[in-house]
Chains A and B, each alone.
Chain A
Amino acid sequence: MKYFRYVWKNVFRKKSRAFLTMASIVLVLVLIVVLSSLLEAMEYDPSGGRGSTHIVVQHATGLANFMPLAYRQRIEQVPDVVAVAPQIWFGGTYIDDRPENFFGQLSTDPEVWAIIHDDYTIPDDQLKAWQAARDTFIAGQQLIDKYHWKIGDRIQVKGTYISMTLDLALAGIYRGPDESNIFFHNKYLENSFIGRMSQTGIFFLRTNQPAQVPVACDAINRMFENSEAPVKAMPEQQFMLQFAEMMGNIKLLVRSIGLVVLFTVVLIVANSVAMSARERVTQIAVIRALGFRRGQVLALVLSEAIVLAVLGGLAGVALSIPFTHALVEGMKHSPVAPFAFNVRISATTLLTAFGASVAIGVLAGFVPAIRSARIRIVDGLRQVA
């Protein structure tokens, strides 16, 4: 501890260099926290560890193809399936086509919505009002907070790939894991081309127990494997993840980017520490002459790198929290909104980021510290200070 003042003062010997080096660490740590939080969001379990009971069934070839509505009755016969709702992603524009006005619009069967979404809550009278009128919708609290809709307010959503405009009145407000969507009646789409063909985009269903999900998926897949429209049934979490994976193995990509950036910042900090040590060859020779051992010189230079990295780490971790929140706010108004609602900055992520900063310090400081410890006193003193 008595050496700390010496270390501290040497860290800030060249203030601009120290702050720029710390800034690079801050940027990297913010990036690590954001990427880790996004990765965690992708792997988010809406059931909170209890295991989800939800299954999504889509056409085996992808979401671009639809399935016959008639499949619903057959899926309902699968053992342990509690309820099934056909759902269509409307994908319309509200107010204008700016990303910030984007939110999910899903048609569904209001009669079974509450049974299937057992992790959501909605007042009974609002649910009944929605079920009673086909030109009504329910919205998540997040959207209510954003648009300040009140019960009875009407909204118009212009279709994109479905050429019709929804004109809906707000019947209810729900709370739950993802409050960024509106749900409206399937019947409203009866006059659209999908409705006329008696088709749907997906089936959303619930089983009794999480353990029944894989069994039910398997049964549903086998049920339609030789039909004209084979299906792919999967747990809800896997369904969400496939959007991200449309861009390739995004998790591997994110981790690779994180590692490359981390390695780059190690090189930057190592260069900064090495430069600082090179400039102080005479100083190091002097303290060696005064009686400091090689090991002590190594520890001092290494400590400088660690102090620099830890300061950057603390600032990075502190700044990453508001930065991630700002990013999430932005994401909530984009097509990846469902992920945004799952983004949490966990203590593990923050600790990992802080640990990474310490590792940056150790890795970056090690070589310059060894070099400094190896300086021959007479050679160091011979250099002009």
Chain B
Amino acid sequence: MAQPLISIEHVSKIYRRDSLQIPVLEDINLDIGKGEFVALMGPSGSGKTTLLNLIAGIDTTTRGRISVDGQNIATLGDNALARWRADHIGFIFQLYNLIPVLTAFENVELPLLLTRLSRHERREHVKMALNIVGLADRMEHYPRQLSGGQEQRVAIARAIVGDPAILVADEPTGDLDAKSAEEILDLLNRLNAEFSKTIVMVTHDPRAASRAHRMLHLDKGVLSSQAAASGMERAREGR
């Protein structure tokens, strides 16, 4: 692998509940290359989401170091980290987490409010993102007027509208029917192949994981195995 985009070195995470210490991740070492599509698998409580949160800069390590594009994110202050997230990370959640009072357009526009783009430029960016996910005709719809699959596609448009290098997806198909899940996975593969997005996806679903280039297994906070996904080659071919 060339220079990794994400470099995780000896990372441990311990949660403290009163006097209790709960180790969640233990001495994780991992490199993720630019343009890679990585699936994190493992049973509940194995630390998948925690590792994803650490990579995305919304949680902090107890020990160790995470570098993204050469930047040690542990050294960033709260405001700088917020700015860093806005610039580098796109979030895709299991329950979509769209703002219910905002239309699809307004939800996708939300991250762009943090930029210096003009209203017209924001509008163009949002239209482009919604076009990519195939929902240009649903711009004025509210989340309640969309199906689960459509909501997730709006969430993906929100994740990519700021053109971040990394997409972190936490069970992106976990709340969807099989057909919608396939459409979402196709979309993620397309974003990875056509737009070179580095994707880190947490999933329970082996079929979803098979769409990734690499599957990582976590068990009780320890990275137990790494394997190339069986569908990797097909994914790379853009399926």
Assess the A293–B110 pair: CB atoms within 8 A.
no
Q: How many residues of A contact B (CB 8 A)?
A: 26
Assess the A385–B95 pair: CB atoms within 8 A.
yes
Q: A384 CA to B106 CA in the complex, in Å? A: 22
Q: A294 CA to B81 CA in the complex, in Å? A: 11
Q: A292 CA to B102 CA in the complex, in Å? A: 17
Assess the B113–A2 pair: CB atoms within 8 A.
yes
Assess the A13–B101 pair: CB atoms within 8 A.
yes
Assess the A6–B59 pair: CB atoms within 8 A.
no
Assess the B85–A291 pair: CB atoms within 8 A.
yes
Is B86 close to A, CB under 8 A?
A: yes
Query: Known contacts being A291-B86, A293-B78, is A9 close to B101, with CB within 8 Å?
Result: yes
Which residues does chain A contribute within 8 Å of B101, judged by CB atoms? 9-10, 12-13
Assess the B82–A288 pair: CB atoms within 8 A.
yes
- A377 in complex: contacting residue of B59, B87, B111, B114, CB < 8 Å: B59
Assess the B102–A9 pair: CB atoms within 8 A.
yes
Assess the A291–B82 pair: CB atoms within 8 A.
yes
Q: Residue-by-residue, is A287-326 near B (CB-CB < 8 Å gives 1, otherwise 0)?
A: 1111111111000000000000000000000000000000
Chain B residue at smallest Cβ distance from A294? B78
Is A87 close to B, CB under 8 A?
A: no
Q: How many residues of B contact A (CB 8 A)?
A: 27
Which residues does chain A contribute within 8 Å of B85, judged by CB atoms? 289-291
Which residues does chain B contribute within 8 Å of A289, judged by CB atoms? 56, 58, 85, 89, 91
Which residues does chain A contribute within 8 Å of B53, judged by CB atoms? 377-378
Interface of B is mostly: helix
Is A196 close to B, CB under 8 A?
A: no
Chain B residue at smallest Cβ distance from A282? B97
Interface of A is mostly: helix
- B110 in complex: contacting residue of A287, A295, A378, A381, CB < 8 Å: A287
Assess the A293–B102 pair: CB atoms within 8 A.
no
Q: Using a CB-CB cutoff of 8 Å, which residues 333-380 of chain A contact chain B?
A: 377-378
Is B79 close to A, CB under 8 A?
A: yes
Query: Known contacts being A289-B56, A291-B85, is A5 close to B106, with CB within 8 Å?
Result: yes
Most buried by A among B58, B93, B111: B58
Which residues does chain A contribute within 8 Å of B99, judged by CB atoms? 6, 283, 286-287
- B119 in complex: contacting residue of A2, A6, A377, CB < 8 Å: A2
Is B83 close to A, CB under 8 A?
A: yes
- B83 in complex: contacting residue of A291, A295, A385, CB < 8 Å: A291
Q: A12 CA to B58 CA in the complex, in Å? A: 29
Q: Tell me, rounded to whole Å, the shortest Cβ–Cβ distance linking B147 to chain A.
A: 17
Chain A residue at smallest Cβ distance from B59? A378
Is A3 close to B, CB under 8 A?
A: yes
Q: A2 CA to B59 CA in the complex, in Å? A: 29
**Sample (21) of A-B pairs whose CB atoms are under 8 Å apart:** A2-B113, A2-B119, A3-B113, A6-B99, A9-B106, A12-B101, A13-B101, A283-B99, A286-B99, A288-B82, A289-B85, A290-B86, A290-B111, A290-B158, A291-B114, A293-B79, A293-B82, A294-B78, A377-B58, A378-B58, A385-B95
Known: A290-B111, A377-B58, A378-B59. 10 other contacts (CB 8 A): A2-B119, A13-B101, A282-B97, A286-B99, A289-B91, A290-B91, A290-B114, A291-B111, A294-B82, A381-B93
A residues engaging B (CB < 8 A)?
Answer: 2-3, 5-6, 9-10, 12-13, 282-283, 286-296, 377-378, 381, 384-385
B residues engaging A (CB < 8 A)?
Answer: 53, 56, 58-59, 78-79, 82-83, 85-87, 89, 91, 93, 95, 97, 99-102, 106, 110-111, 113-114, 119, 158
Closest 8 CB pairs of A and B: A291-B86, A9-B101, A377-B58, A293-B82, A286-B97, A290-B111, A291-B85, A293-B79
